[in-house]
Amino acid sequence: MGMGDCNPCSIPMEPRSRLSKFDEGMLVDATLYRSVVGSLRYLVNTRPDMAYSVGMVSRYMEVPTQNHMNAVKQILRYIKGTYDMGCVFKYGEEDNVLVGYCDSDLAGDVDDRKSTTRILFFLGGSPITWVSQKQKVVAPSSCEAEYMAATGGACQGIWLMKLLDSLRRKIKEKPLLKIDNKSAIALANNLVHHERSKHIDTKFHFIRECIEKGIIGIEHVRTEGQLADILTKPLGRQRFTELRTKIGIQHIKMGKQV
């Protein structure tokens, strides 16, 4: 792509970026676009700071335009400036505590107005899994969007707990979900169906049963402490850098080869 001498940048996507599959810009080589984005998706397995931006450009594989390619190029420029960064796993800090941050945007996809679930789990204070997935149905409010995200977080937390158990690593406490929407928390704690939730698909009420049985814990976190925010939307440099540090992405010192 001729990006070898590109200028590095500090964020993978501009805050005001709004991509659409109905973009009327000039078409680009779809094969090249898919190849580059496919490679980026592998990289996201170790770089949660790029999960949102790579997830966005992955939506336009079918008919990519120059605007979509420009977004991909910005990610490549970001990689050039942060090639020596990665997840740092700390030993001994809350070693057996499983904490998940759940968040969602509202109607973030400009084409179908569906929201996107973001889940980020930590074990011992270090990130071990992250999810960025568009919801299957349109959420009419931020409360319902985050309620559905919380259900996804509960499923992920239970799966992680069972996985760790199979590896003979016992978790001291039940997985804890941190959510910044108080209405979604109230909805999850309410075991009685009412007007506000009766239209929500039954499968999303799974989290209520998990809370009732004590399988999952849930608590409120202030917006500024919502670490999954880095997976939810494009952020400005200051906020992005702050969250990147908090989730454990750091410059890695390369040791000398023997």
Domain ranges of the chain: 1-83, 98-246
Reading the block at residue 225, the tokens are: 């402490």
- Using DSSP, state whether 239 is helix, strand or coil: helix
List alpha helices for 134-236, DSSP H.
142-166, 182-189, 206-212
DSSP for 156-173, please give it. Answer: HHHHHHHHHHHTT---SS
Can you give the C-alpha Rg of the chain in angstroms?
19
| 142, amino acid identity | S
Query: pLDDT value at position 128?
Result: 94
Q: What is the bridge-based pairing of β-strands 217-220 and 176-179?
A: parallel
Mean pLDDT by 10 residues, the chain (258 residues): 85 93 94 97 95 96 96 97 89 77 94 94 92 90 92 95 89 92 90 56 80 94 96 94 95 61
Reading the block at residue 53, the tokens are: 């931006």
Q: Which CATH class is domain 98-246?
A: alpha beta
* Dist. CA 39–CA 109, nearest whole Å: 23
Query: pLDDT value at position 256?
Result: 44
* Dist. CA 152–CA 119, nearest whole Å: 8
* Dist. CA 193–CA 186, nearest whole Å: 12
Residue 121 has, within 13 A of its CA and on its CB side, a CA count of 21
If one counts every other C-beta atom within 10 angstroms of the C-beta of residue 182, the result is: 11
* Dist. CA 116–CA 223, nearest whole Å: 17
Reading the block at residue 3, the tokens are: 């990006």
